[in-house]
Each structure stands twice: as structure tokens, then as C-alpha cells.
Copies of this chain bind each other. A is one copy, B any other.
Amino acid sequence: MILKNFWYVAASSVEVNSTPLARTICEIPVVMFRTGAGAPAALRDMCSHRRAPLSKGRMLGDNIECPYHGLQFDPVGRCVKIPSQEEIPRKAHICSYPVVERWGVVWIWMGDPDLADPAGIPHKPWRADPAWNSENVHYFHIKASHLLMTDNLLDLLHVSWVHVNTIGFAADAVREDPLVTEVSECMVRNTRVIRNIEPAAALRSWGDFAGRVDRTSVSDWTPPCFTAIHFLNRDPVTTIEFRLDHLITPETARSHHYWLLVSRNFRIDDEELTRKVFEDNSRVAAEDMDIVEAQQRMIDLSPGSVDMPLRQDRGLVAAHRILDRLAKQENAEAKRNAG
């Protein structure tokens, strides 16, 4: 099930401009654009008249014009012009979705509009802190359920297999895995501190380490499917510190959007390093895409099959339990509102 009463990322800030942008979010086609005053807007991407996609139309000032018969809609979905008649019926208006621009991306609310409180948007102060470089914003489109990527991010152990040639370390480099999982009502935190280890392949070029490092990752999962990772590697001379914000938005039951916001607080003006980090993280994400899309194909071929959680999956199991509880709440609310 796709939770609706949450803020999701709809686009990175740079994607939203005066050219309409089409994207399916939580199974609803949406068109986004930016007004002259700079505010992002999001409407259902379907003219009320004949269901043509508005995203194929053009902007006339702050209004979007349907490409088929020229109906115009303002940034909150009100039909403001029907060229062939004076009267504008109530049914002509279309659905708009609350949007808030924050931390370099545009957040959208696809659920009950009365509940759309921007205070619910995750807090990411490092994205606005001049001591951090937050230029790198990745977007990926993935042909698998958003839950498979959620699981992937709740699980630090795959790193030693899927990412062993990039950011991972060989599992046998540590005697015992020091994974600590803490679960609260609406968060799952996985912490892992590994001392005195060879730095992973990609990290060697980022960090210029003399020898072995202490490696720490603290990974906070919050619903609906966000994971904020605080990642540090340090030797006696050098420390490299990252904030990795993984933000997932369901597209359909079997596909999702995935934004990765990368922030770092070292060598922040080094453009060459910014490019290198972007390339390396693109490779890491491609490794994840490859595995979750393969999982989805296997699951589709094997109706009735189920997962077998291991001890390492305590966090993942807890997150699924939270999601199930929230889905039940949403269903109950939806029934109450309908009843």
C-alpha cells in the first residue's frame, strides 16, 4: 500500500521552472511548474474537459493552458478561462496539490489536504548550512516497488556485497559486525561503528587517508520511505563526513522515484571532488537499482513466495510494522471520512 498522508519529494528544485514538468506520483499524473514569483505549483495533469495532459501545454503567465482547446488553469487549479464560453462551471476546476520547496527539492502532499502541515517535512539543516557542500542532487527512476528500495536502505549489511567495489568493505575485514538497531514509534536507527579498517575503494580518493580508518554510519529511517545517513570516516589526520538523504516517492505499485541528496563538510569548494563524488555515488545507486530491479522480476515470477527475515533485519522488520500500522490508520481515517 502507498501511504498518502505524507510529504513526498516531487522534483528537485532545478527541475521545476516555466516549462511544465510531468511526473506520476503515488499513481496520480501530476504537472508541475513555477510561477513568475518563483513559487512551485502542482496540478493534476489532466484537463477537466477532455482529459488531455496539461503538461503538453504552455504557460501563459502563471497559468497553464491546455494544448487541446485552450482552457487555462491557475496555480491552484482554478479554471480561469474557457475560450469558447463565458461561463466557467465548478466542475472545470482541477485538483491542485500542496507543495513546499525546502532543502533543494519540492515536496508534495498527495493525501487529505486538511492534514498538509509543512512541519511534517523532514528537517535537514545541513542542506542550508554554508559550511556544507550540498550541490549533488541525484535523481533515479527505478522499476521496482518503493518498498524494495526502502528495505535496501534499512539494511547496512548489503554494502559489503553490493557495494564492495565502491563504498563497501569486505565483510571478513571485521571479526564481528557491530550493528546496533534502535526502534522507536516512528523511527528506526541503525548504527555501525567499525574501527581500524582499510578505507573502501571510493573513499580512498575522497579522503586521501594515510592508512586505516574508523568508519561510522548512523542511518535513520522514518516513514513513509526516507533514510538519512550520517557517514564518517576518520584517521588521526583526516575526517570526511557526509549527510546522505535518500528520499523515495512511489510512482506506481512497481516503480518509484529516488532522490539522493549528498552533503559534505570537507573540501567544500573542490569542484573536482564534487564531480568525483557525484560519479561515485551514481555508481553506488546503479548497483542498488540493479539488485532491486532483479528482486522485483523474481518476485513477479514467483507468486506466493515470501521473504525470510534474518537477525540483521530487525530494523527492516520494525519499519514494516510501522508502515503497516500507519496504513491501517490511513484506511480507518478514510473510512471515517467517507462514512
Contacts and interface: CB of A to CB of B under 8 A. Distances in A.
Given A70-B171, A162-B68, A84 B312 contact: yes
A157 B49 CA distance: 13
A299 B45 CA distance: 11
Contacts of A294: 52-53, 56
A291 B51 contact: no
A50 interface: yes
Q: How many copies does the complex hold?
A: 3
A157 B291 contact: no
A223 interface: no
A37 interface: no
A69 to B, nearest CB: 5
Contacts of A205: none
A308 B48 contact: yes
Contacts of A160: 70, 83
Interface of A is mostly: loop
Central interface residue in A49, A50, A160, A311, by most chain B CB within 10 Å? A50
Given A83-B171, A161-B69, A298 B46 contact: yes
Given A69-B158, A291-B56, A311 B51 contact: no
Given A301-B24, A312-B84, A295 B161 contact: no
A29 interface: yes
Given A301-B24, A302-B46, A85 B29 contact: no
A285 to B, nearest CB: 15
Contacts of A162: 67-68
A162 B65 CA distance: 12
A65 B291 CA distance: 14
Contacts of A187: none
Contacts of A92: 308
The 5 closest A-B pairs by CB, nearest first: A84-B312, A85-B311, A70-B161, A91-B308, A48-B308
20 contacts: A24-B301, A29-B301, A46-B298, A46-B302, A51-B298, A51-B299, A51-B307, A53-B295, A53-B298, A56-B290, A68-B161, A69-B158, A69-B310, A70-B160, A70-B161, A83-B157, A83-B171, A84-B157, A84-B310, A85-B310
Interface of A: 24, 27, 29, 45-46, 48-53, 56, 65-70, 82-85, 89, 91-92, 151, 155, 157-158, 160-162, 171, 177, 179, 290-291, 294-295, 297-299, 301-302, 305, 307-312
